[in-house]
Amino acid sequence: MYVADNIIDFKYLGYRISEYKSDLEDKLQTYNKINRAIWRRFGKQMNKETKLRIHNITAKAALKFGSEAWVLKKREEQHLEAAQMKFLRHLLEITKLDKEKNQCIREKTGAQNIVKEIKWYQKKWLQHVQRMDTNRIPKQALQYRPKGRRNIGQPKKRWRDQLHFEDQGTGKMPNTS
């Protein structure tokens, strides 16, 4: 009989499963590594539009992979925005001392807020799961309501709690039944 070792963290299908470190931290590290590689490899040799396209195809795609399952806290949203703005500021050669607002920088580059993109991606995932048959595991997981009582204290933020539907105007979670 084989007894499994006590493992603290591991990667499964590209996701980090850990007690201590979130998958988002790994994704941000990968995002920043790809951005540094873009600057080291291309530097001033390539125009800004091409660098932005390479960034969108590689770094942003690597960051957003698996983001449909993330539960983003305010601090994590700030980390995502800071990483994106670091790249965009460097692309336009704007420093923080120039006091250029993030929205102006996004307008100049045509980039959308990364947090809004992730929220949109999560909304699309929810719509996809809602269209599934009821015997599919993702739909069952979305509809699952645990029995019993919650622990004392402030409840943990759940995936369905963070979804905002501005286009519906209600701000309420649609019926997932």
pLDDT in tens, 45-70: 888 899 999 999 999 999 998 888 88
Which residues have a Cβ under 8 Å from the Cβ of 22 and sit 6 or more positions away?
16, 76
Q: Provide the strand spans (E) within the chain.
A: 9-12, 15-18
Mean pLDDT of 21-29: 80
Tokens 């995936």 belong to: 159
Q: Is the pTM of this model over 0.85?
A: no
Average pLDDT score over the chain: 82
Distances (CA, A) of 170 to 96, 132, 165: 37, 24, 7
**pLDDT per residue as tens digits for the range 139-176:** 888 888 888 887 888 777 777 777 754 444 444 444 44
pLDDT at residue 19 greater than cutoff 80: no
Please tell me the predicted confidence (pLDDT) of residue 2.
59
Phi, psi of 94 (to 5 degrees): -110, 130
Q: How far is it, in rounded angstroms, from Cα 129 to Cα 78?
A: 28
Give the H/E segment covering residue 88. Answer: helix 74-92
Please tell me the predicted confidence (pLDDT) of residue 170.
45
Q: How far is it, in rounded angstroms, from Cα 50 to Cα 106?
A: 16
Please tell me the predicted confidence (pLDDT) of residue 152.
84
CB 63 within 8 A of CB 114: yes
**pLDDT per residue as tens digits for the range 81-122:** 999 999 999 999 999 899 999 999 999 999 999 999 999 998
